[in-house]
């Protein structure tokens, strides 16, 4: 009989960044159920023919007030969660719970363990907003011993060790990407990407990044590096894929630095390879790598683009310095501009990084490899 998995995602994490993984679960015979209050997850389930049950909204925001309410109402919430667990065990025969957010980790884990169901926590890389609350940290630390915790980079493991999590409950699963995704880009920026690709071959040396401009990022340092590198590479340009609240400020900053005409903010792009193929160098810009940031890096590597990443930002598991990318030991404009110039001037190095990057992804970081590693833990 096929195993049944309940995927709970009730807080700020976004389980839909794992859609390729879920699809491979389904292909491998697992039946998926989703528990969330998010409309986008409901739509995904409707489109993919997965079972969806709406979660309540009372405690699932990630605000300070919601955390206080969560602690005050912890006992009734636990009792309600027991009812939910029993329904899924008796009615739907759920075998495995996969939890993405601290809310369901705290509420579901003890009851699922008591009912003999397996609990898996997804600990996404990047900053964890719940860590600022002592009681939330204490509660998650208390119940984590009943779960298998899946992480995606060493930096997350180091963080959990600092929080006194037991190492035997932590399993690192390398991230992966779908190499067979369609590369078509049907929007206003499609022609721009083609134009940039053509211009790049003839006129421009293009740096690029993919970043969430709502989160902490290092675009200002990259802009400083570009300005410094212009004396050696006068035909530089910089394309930023991504959007967010900082876009306006960064656009103003680029103009203030006198390089506004060299910096392109092109917004969110659903299909990345049309853009990646126009880049000469890919630079990671996230201050703390999220799962999506790690996937963006893998897409760049799979496209054969030399990459530059800062040290200890969450990308070190993937990049081997001077083998499949460059690691900037210090994140400042001088160090970064030197790395840019190094790749530009050393064609043999650029080719080596390009070829090794593609090999790295195909051998270690595909979605199928990630799914195989994940399924071993189910």
Residues 283, 284, 290, CA angle at the centre, nearest 5°?
165
- pLDDT tens-digit series, residues 113-139: 999 999 999 999 987 655 568 899 999
Smallest CA-to-CA distance from 125 within 83, 91, 154 is with 154
Residue-wise DSSP of 227-246 = HHHTTT-TTEEEEEEB-STT
Of the pLDDT bands very low, low, confident and very high (cuts 50, 70, 90), residue 67 is confident
Tokens (6 digits) for 135:
């009681």
pLDDT surpasses 50 at 186: no
Cα-to-chain-centroid distance, residue 129? 15
Give pLDDT, residue 64.
77
Question: Mean pLDDT across the stretch 25-54?
Answer: 95
Catalogue all structural domains in the chain, each as residue range(s) with its CATH number: 4-172 (3.40.50.2000), 188-364 (3.40.50.2000)
Burial class (CB in 10 A: 0-12, 13-18, 19+), 100: buried
Q: Are 141 and 164 in contact (CB under 8 A)?
A: yes
Question: Mean pLDDT across the stretch 8-27?
Answer: 93
Q: Are 223 and 254 in contact (CB under 8 A)?
A: yes
Give pLDDT, residue 130.
53
Residues 4, 6, 12, CA angle at the centre, nearest 5°?
160
Of the pLDDT bands very low, low, confident and very high (cuts 50, 70, 90), residue 254 is very high
| Site of tokens 């060493």 | 154
Question: Mean pLDDT across the stretch 330-354?
Answer: 96
DSSP H helices in 144-261: 154-162, 188-202, 219-229, 247-256
E strand or H helix that includes residue 350 = helix 347-364
Of the pLDDT bands very low, low, confident and very high (cuts 50, 70, 90), residue 180 is confident
């Amino acid at each position: 009989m096929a195993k049944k998995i309940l995927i709970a995602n009730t807080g700020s994490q976004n389980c839909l960044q794992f859609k390729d993984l879920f699809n491979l679960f389904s292909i491998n015979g697992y039946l998926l159920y989703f528990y969330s209050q998010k409309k986008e997850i409901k739509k995904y389930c409707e489109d993919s023919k997965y079972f969806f049950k709406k979660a309540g909204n009372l405690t699932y925001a990630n605000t300070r007030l919601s955390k206080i309410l969560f602690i005050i109402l912890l006992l009734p919430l636990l009792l309600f969660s027991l009812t939910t667990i029993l329904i899924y065990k008796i009615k739907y025969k759920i075998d495995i719970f996969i939890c993405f957010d601290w809310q369901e980790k705290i509420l579901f884990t003890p009851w699922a363990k008591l009912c003999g169901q397996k609990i898996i926590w997804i600990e996404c890389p990047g900053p964890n907003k719940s860590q600022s609350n002592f009681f939330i940290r204490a509660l998650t630390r208390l119940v984590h011993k009943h779960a298998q915790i899946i992480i995606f980079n060493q930096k997350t493991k180091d963080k959990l060790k600092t929080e006194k999590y037991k190492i035997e409950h932590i399993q690192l699963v390398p991230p992966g990407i779908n190499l067979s995704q369609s590369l078509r880009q049907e929007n206003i920026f499609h022609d721009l990407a083609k134009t940039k690709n053509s211009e790049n071959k003839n006129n421009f040396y293009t740096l690029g990044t993919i970043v969430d401009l709502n989160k902490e990022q290092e675009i200002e340092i990259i802009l400083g590096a570009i300005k410094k590198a212009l004396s050696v590479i006068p035909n530089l340009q910089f394309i930023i894929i991504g959007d967010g609240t900082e876009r306006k400020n960064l656009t103003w900053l680029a103009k203030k630095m006198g390089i506004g005409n060299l910096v392109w903010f092109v917004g969110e792009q659903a299909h990345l390879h049309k853009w990646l193929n126009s880049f000469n160098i890919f630079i990671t810009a996230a201050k703390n790598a999220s799962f999506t940031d790690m996937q963006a890096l893998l897409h760049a590597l799979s496209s054969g683009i030399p990459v530059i990443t800062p040290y200890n930002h969450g990308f070190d598991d993937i990049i081997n310095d001077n083998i499949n990318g460059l690691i900037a030991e210090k994140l400042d404009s001088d160090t970064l501009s030197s790395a840019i110039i190094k790749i530009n001037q050393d064609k043999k190095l650029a080719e080596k990084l390009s070829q090794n990057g593609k090999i790295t992804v195909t051998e270690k970081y595909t979605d199928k490899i990630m799914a195989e590693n994940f399924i071993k833990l189910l």
